Chain A
Amino acid sequence: MSRLKKFIDRADIRRFRFWVQLSAFILFVYGGYLSIDLGREMPVFICGYDQEAAGMCYFMPLQHQLARDWERLFSAAGLGVLSAFAIFLLWFIIFNKAWCGYICPLGTMQDWITLLRKKIGVAYSNYTQSQYSSLKKIKYIFLAIVIIFPLLMGAGLFGGEWRAAFCKMCPGRLITPMFVGDFSQWSIDFSSNTAIFLTAFGIAFTILFIVGSFVKKRFFCFYCPMSAMHYIFSPFSILRLKKEGDKCTKCGDCYRVCDMQIFDIADDVVSKNILRDDCILCLKCIAACPEEDALHLDIVNMALFRSTKDGFAKRMGVDKERE
């Protein structure tokens, strides 16, 4: 057991993550060819417009369900909404935000774009802390769009065009189906002003997604409503990122490797639960931490992956130099 633990603690998290991401991407984007169907409650951006997807992003059914007439929504039919939500929650609480860092196809794609940028040798950009703290709020606006617009539509205040308003704006709708050769989403719908706006916004957002994630790591995740949704329910998750403040020396290594620029990971020595709303649980911070046990990933209070001096030395290649 202790050998296994040691092996995990010395693991090369980057390589592990790359392969997990690649297989998750293949599973989710092409799973339909193998008749894999994981349901319509996936807590990641695997778009339902991808005909061969192995699951469906929960936001699509959620928006359709919430857009029902209120009389139906608040009747026994509402149980259907609740049960779908319960399934979503079940999926979510197992992996917490690791859905973002390890499984989300849209996230994986951004990591690949980052790899490409590295290969080409272009420098990346970061936000300043003040920009960051104001920009990160946008995801809650998107979450409000996901939830409020369908509800208002069900109340009869909005037309049917707003049914899945966020989906029309989402880059996932344009990008994911392209991997199975479907480019039909790249179009502007002229049938109404709302449709023009939403589809044009979708295209603009997609271009921003591509250019943005080229210069800024995980650009889209700052604005992702799914991330906001995750954060609301992350206290119920069994997988947790924890920090022992007294062991932290504030060296800042974790902050420097963090794709999401989470300042608290290095600065906050008070909170035990260090998972913030932008966190994608990529575990880079644990791998980069040189202190014994300062950061660890817990599953039901059992340490699954810990920061160790030994592991740090191995990952940095220090132990080889010594020999």
Chain B
Amino acid sequence: MVRFFKRESGDLFKNRFFGFIFKNRKFVFGLQVVIALLFFYAIYMGFYDSSKDNIFTTALFWGIFWPFFIVTTLPTLGRVFCGICPHGFLGKYITKIGLKRKMPKWLQNRYIGVMLLFIGWWGVYYVFPGVYRTPLGTAILFAVMTIVAFIIYYLYKDMAYCKYICPIGTALRAYAKLSFTFFGSYQSACADCKTFDCAKSCPYALSPFNFEKKKSMGDCTLCMECTHSCEAIRFRLTAPGAAIYEKFKIVKEEVWVYILILAAIPISMAFHHGLGRSNISEEMIWVKTAAWAATLFDAGNFNLTGLFVFLYATLFSVAAAVVGMAIAAKIMKKDFSTTFYTLGYAFAPLFILASFAHAWEYFFTTNSAKIVEGMAWGFGFDIDVDPIAKRGDNWLQVFHLFRWIAVAWAFYILYRRFKHIDASRMRKIFAYPFASMLILFFIGVNIYRDYVLETYGRKTHHTHAPQKHQVAAISTIKEEDAKHIWLSDRVPLHEQGGPGGMGQRGQNTRVPQKSIYLLGGDFSKPLCVNEIKGRFFVVDTQNRYKEVKPVKKHGCLSVRFDTPAVGYYKVYYIQESAVGTKIAKFEFKRYDHNSEEEYSKEKMRAKTIKEVPFDLLRVRPDNETFYSMPATGDTVRFLVLKSGVPSPGVTVRLTTQFGWNKSVKSDRDGVASFKLIKDYMPEWSHFNRRFRETYWVEAQAENGGKIDYIVAQERFGRSRDEYSSSAYALIVAIFLLIATAGGVALYRYRTNRPFKEVKFDE
């Protein structure tokens, strides 16, 4: 026994805070009592109120215990949950008064616990979906397990239940190997210890003084009994997963836990909830098998699809692991068992990290609210809270990364585990890809799931609320009543404009598309024009044009078309009547940074088409490219064309979004020039330098007794001068230049250090 020992840094017991939470008997006892009370209260409530109102029982077991006490602690602190587990806590006292018999050999089988978890919980979960989601099902499960546990504690000694029967006992032991803590002892102190107090005090009959030598904590549940008997026990921090790289006594059941749980949870979930909810779910083998099986017999409440998902997932995973390892063993000329169980430890991170990420993502999207509401309900309050994050929040994607961290880690562990196999380097290199077959299968399933959901989409649920902009009523105006009629790429849904804008990133379409709407009324109060007499023409980048029939979209008449190439597209609406021709025009450019498109003068040149009797072309200046647009302060020039011929002396009027307008007459070349003024002046804090201001250009002219009239909508951006200042920059630069240069000079003047030779130790 060691009474005093100087603890090393990295020993959690050295830290006052951790020393307190792990070692302080009163605190730990208090915590155990609280957890046990909650545990039994939740079981009681499950029976007492088994209706849907009871949100407490499920919130405690599936909202707190599973995601936090188990999934979160395992890859981090290790098996700390066992230290406060109600079964173990009470079991210790039951064992003391019990019969203390030796457990019979046939019961000393870890597969009992593993299979209870694999089939009893996950198998049932898929075959009878929702059983464990009800308070009653949950309560029965835990009540039965508690009774079984207490009977076994009473009969047998050394807490045998935890080692062999507990469904999560072996699983916890297996996954805790990935944690960044290790429980052991100071070997220097243990070397001259003759009393072995730690082993005597261990309720599990383990030898903590051997943990460091064996590189494994065995069945230790971190109950901390030994720490009170000897000071040389330590709980040290290690590199994450350090324990799993080492050579230790292999427990075959652990490897099977990794494989079976991987099959039962991530793989089955990817099959059932990922692929099973895609639009091609009918094509999946388990659905087909289930359909075939349903023709043979009446399944009743059985979920056949779930059953076959579970079976196929298990079959594929086990086959991948076994076949891969068998080939690897052949290549390395080793026997299968050694290869399989030595290398099988590499599969450890796949499930636990994926589940860790899922638990936390679920916590932010749903669980946080469920826990608070459930806990409140359990103690007689009624609270309604919102989850912390919304499903689909962008930052939640960070949790998807964990899957790939798990894969990388698994590959690394496999590499480290290979060192424990004695074979030539070349053979190992060839065996590696085969040994990693289950990891590759896991990657494949994940990529395939994402691919299917991306390509074929998710099945739509009928319960979803209809999309908002489909129900929003849009006020319309008759063509004759409208003061102006023009084309725009935005629907006047709200004051700021509705969907549209960019509008080119069409979902699941390779070719970007664009929708252009016909609007009318006042420029400041646009309305949809839904009954028309005119025709629409779409002009592509090569100046080829065709007539297009309009369709209704967002409750507004629009033309939709592909924009495959980079360049300028135009849409014309032409309505001819006895009075004259009314023309609305919208020109826009499509560009992206990925295209290698060169912008030549020819492509930048504005062109007209012969269907348009009267046109306004924006003459683009030489320095404009696809990547730039006119800004405040620039001069925009419009060429007025009557039947394709430049027309001088036509009055052209420009109106901006904020109401400023100006009229000019086209000059001798038929060009009307406007200088774009700055009339976007919001509060400085709301200033948006990417703001695109809309303006309209109108012109009308007599043409053989009739009046032709045209409106073109355009946009312009912010000039750099509106928000940035070179003068300030210059002042700051000069000031800093003087300050730093002066500072250096002053420093040099004041510190005149003598020469000192640099010495290298020989």
A interface residue numbers (CB < 8 A to B): 69-71, 74-76, 123, 125, 154-157, 160, 183-184, 186-192, 195, 199-200, 203-204, 206-208, 210-212, 214-215, 250, 252, 255-256, 266-267
Which of B395, B400, B726 makes the CB contact (< 8 A) with A187?
A: B726
Which of B724, B760, B761 makes the CB contact (< 8 A) with A199?
A: B724
Indicate with 1 or 0, residue by residue over B725-736, a CB within 8 angstroms of chain A CB atoms: 110111011001
User: For this complex, into which size category does the number of interface residues on chain B fall?
Assistant: 20 to 34
In B365-398, the 8 Å CB interface with A consists of 393-395, 397-398
The interface residues of chain A lying within 8 Å CB-to-CB of B690 are: 160
B741 touches A188 (CB 8 A): no
Chain A proximity of B251: nearest CB distance (Å): 36
B688 touches A191 (CB 8 A): yes
B450 touches A250 (CB 8 A): no
Q: How far is the CA of A208 from the CA of B735 in the complex (A)?
A: 12
Which of A155, A187, A255 makes the CB contact (< 8 A) with B397?
A: A155
B394 touches A186 (CB 8 A): no
B724 touches A191 (CB 8 A): yes
The interface residues of chain B lying within 8 Å CB-to-CB of A188 are: 724-725, 728-729, 732
Is B758 positioned at the interface, with any CB of A under 8 Å from its CB? yes
The interface residues of chain A lying within 8 Å CB-to-CB of B730 are: 186
Q: Most chain-B CB neighbours within 10 Å: which of A69, A192, A208, A214?
A: A192
A74 touches B740 (CB 8 A): no
In B682-715, the 8 Å CB interface with A consists of 684, 687-690
B740 touches A208 (CB 8 A): yes
Q: How far is the CA of A266 from the CA of B762 in the complex (A)?
A: 11
A206 touches B725 (CB 8 A): no
Which of A69, A186, A189 makes the CB contact (< 8 A) with B723?
A: A189
Q: A160-B690, A186-B729 are in contact. List 19 more A-B contacts (CB 8 A).
A: A70-B394, A70-B397, A70-B398, A71-B397, A74-B401, A75-B450, A157-B395, A187-B725, A187-B728, A188-B724, A188-B728, A190-B684, A203-B732, A203-B736, A204-B732, A215-B744, A255-B760, A266-B760, A267-B760
The interface residues of chain B lying within 8 Å CB-to-CB of A206 are: 733
Is B677 positioned at the interface, with any CB of A under 8 Å from its CB? no
The interface residues of chain B lying within 8 Å CB-to-CB of A200 are: 732
Q: How far is the CA of A230 from the CA of B760 in the complex (A)?
A: 28
The interface residues of chain A lying within 8 Å CB-to-CB of B737 are: 207, 210-211
The interface residues of chain A lying within 8 Å CB-to-CB of B395 are: 70, 155-157
Q: Which residue of B lies closest to A261 (CB)?
A: B758
Q: How far is the CA of A183 from the CA of B688 in the complex (A)?
A: 24
B760 touches A187 (CB 8 A): no
Chain B proximity of A72: nearest CB distance (Å): 9
B720 touches A187 (CB 8 A): yes
Q: How far is the CA of A320 from the CA of B760 in the complex (A)?
A: 31
Chain B proximity of A166: nearest CB distance (Å): 19
For the complex of A and B, the 8 pairs showing the least CB-CB separation, nearest first, are A70-B397, A156-B394, A155-B395, A191-B723, A191-B689, A207-B736, A187-B724, A250-B760
A187 touches B729 (CB 8 A): yes
Q: How far is the CA of A76 from the CA of B729 in the complex (A)?
A: 42
The interface residues of chain B lying within 8 Å CB-to-CB of A256 are: 758
Is B282 positioned at the interface, with any CB of A under 8 Å from its CB? no
Contacts A155-B394, A156-B393; A250 near B720 (Cβ below 8 A): no
Is B454 positioned at the interface, with any CB of A under 8 Å from its CB? yes
Chain B proximity of A316: nearest CB distance (Å): 20
Q: How far is the CA of A255 from the CA of B759 in the complex (A)?
A: 11
In B335-374, the 8 Å CB interface with A consists of none
A74 touches B726 (CB 8 A): no
Which of B454, B725, B736 makes the CB contact (< 8 A) with A190?
A: B725
Q: Which residue of A lies closest to B743 (CB)?
A: A211
Q: Which residue of B lies closest to A267 (CB)?
A: B760
Which of A75, A210, A212, A252 makes the CB contact (< 8 A) with B454?
A: A75
Q: How far is the CA of A206 from the CA of B736 in the complex (A)?
A: 10
Q: How far is the CA of A250 from the CA of B397 in the complex (A)?
A: 53
Q: How far is the CA of A210 from the CA of B738 in the complex (A)?
A: 12
A207 touches B729 (CB 8 A): no
The interface residues of chain A lying within 8 Å CB-to-CB of B684 are: 190
Q: How far is the CA of A211 from the CA of B738 in the complex (A)?
A: 10
The interface residues of chain A lying within 8 Å CB-to-CB of B729 are: 186-188, 199, 203
Chain B proximity of A161: nearest CB distance (Å): 9
Q: Which residue of A lies closest to B721 (CB)?
A: A187
Q: How far is the CA of A183 from the CA of B732 in the complex (A)?
A: 15
Chain B proximity of A153: nearest CB distance (Å): 10
Chain A proximity of B504: nearest CB distance (Å): 14
Q: How far is the CA of A204 from the CA of B740 in the complex (A)?
A: 10
Contacts A200-B732, A266-B760; A155 near B398 (Cβ below 8 A): yes
Complex A-B: 20 CB contacts under 8 Å:
A70-B395, A70-B398, A70-B400, A75-B450, A123-B748, A155-B395, A155-B398, A156-B394, A186-B726, A186-B730, A187-B724, A187-B725, A188-B725, A190-B723, A190-B728, A199-B729, A207-B737, A210-B737, A211-B740, A250-B760
The interface residues of chain A lying within 8 Å CB-to-CB of B726 are: 183-184, 186-187
B394 touches A154 (CB 8 A): yes
Q: Which residue of B lies closest to A129 (CB)?
A: B758
Q: Which residue of B lies closest to A207 (CB)?
A: B736
Q: How far is the CA of A255 from the CA of B736 in the complex (A)?
A: 32
The interface residues of chain A lying within 8 Å CB-to-CB of B401 are: 74
Chain B proximity of A280: nearest CB distance (Å): 20
B724 touches A207 (CB 8 A): no
The interface residues of chain B lying within 8 Å CB-to-CB of A207 are: 733, 736-737, 740
Q: How far is the CA of A199 from the CA of B21 in the complex (A)?
A: 49
A255 touches B758 (CB 8 A): yes
Chain A proximity of B396: nearest CB distance (Å): 8
Chain A proximity of B682: nearest CB distance (Å): 11
Chain A proximity of B758: nearest CB distance (Å): 6
Chain B proximity of A64: nearest CB distance (Å): 8
Chain A proximity of B514: nearest CB distance (Å): 20
In B439-468, the 8 Å CB interface with A consists of 450, 454
Q: How far is the CA of A218 from the CA of B643 in the complex (A)?
A: 66
Q: How far is the CA of A188 from the CA of B450 in the complex (A)?
A: 44
Chain A proximity of B733: nearest CB distance (Å): 5
The interface residues of chain A lying within 8 Å CB-to-CB of B723 are: 189-191, 195
A184 touches B758 (CB 8 A): no
Q: How far is the CA of A212 from the CA of B736 in the complex (A)?
A: 12
Q: How far is the CA of A267 from the CA of B758 in the complex (A)?
A: 11
Q: How far is the CA of A184 from the CA of B760 in the complex (A)?
A: 49
Q: How far is the CA of A207 from the CA of B737 in the complex (A)?
A: 6
Q: Most chain-A CB neighbours within 10 Å: which of B393, B737, B758?
A: B758
Q: Which residue of B lies closest to A205 (CB)?
A: B736
The interface residues of chain B lying within 8 Å CB-to-CB of A71 are: 394, 397
Contacts A186-B729, A188-B728; A74 near B744 (Cβ below 8 A): no
Q: Which residue of A lies closest to B398 (CB)?
A: A155
A252 touches B760 (CB 8 A): yes
The interface residues of chain A lying within 8 Å CB-to-CB of B394 are: 69-71, 154-156
Q: Which residue of A lies closest to B400 (CB)?
A: A74
Q: How far is the CA of A199 from the CA of B729 in the complex (A)?
A: 9
Q: How far is the CA of A160 from the CA of B398 in the complex (A)?
A: 19
A211 touches B744 (CB 8 A): yes
B758 touches A250 (CB 8 A): no
Contacts A210-B737, A211-B737, A211-B741; A190 near B724 (Cβ below 8 A): yes
B393 touches A189 (CB 8 A): no
Chain A proximity of B444: nearest CB distance (Å): 16
Q: How far is the CA of A62 from the CA of B721 in the complex (A)?
A: 28
B762 touches A250 (CB 8 A): yes
Q: Which residue of A lies closest to B736 (CB)?
A: A207
Q: How far is the CA of A190 from the CA of B744 in the complex (A)?
A: 30
The interface residues of chain A lying within 8 Å CB-to-CB of B720 are: 184, 187
Chain B proximity of A37: nearest CB distance (Å): 10
Chain A proximity of B395: nearest CB distance (Å): 4
The interface residues of chain B lying within 8 Å CB-to-CB of A212 are: 740
B733 touches A186 (CB 8 A): yes
Q: How far is the CA of A85 from the CA of B748 in the complex (A)?
A: 44
The interface residues of chain B lying within 8 Å CB-to-CB of A186 are: 726, 729-730, 733
Chain B proximity of A127: nearest CB distance (Å): 12
Q: How far is the CA of A199 from the CA of B724 in the complex (A)?
A: 10
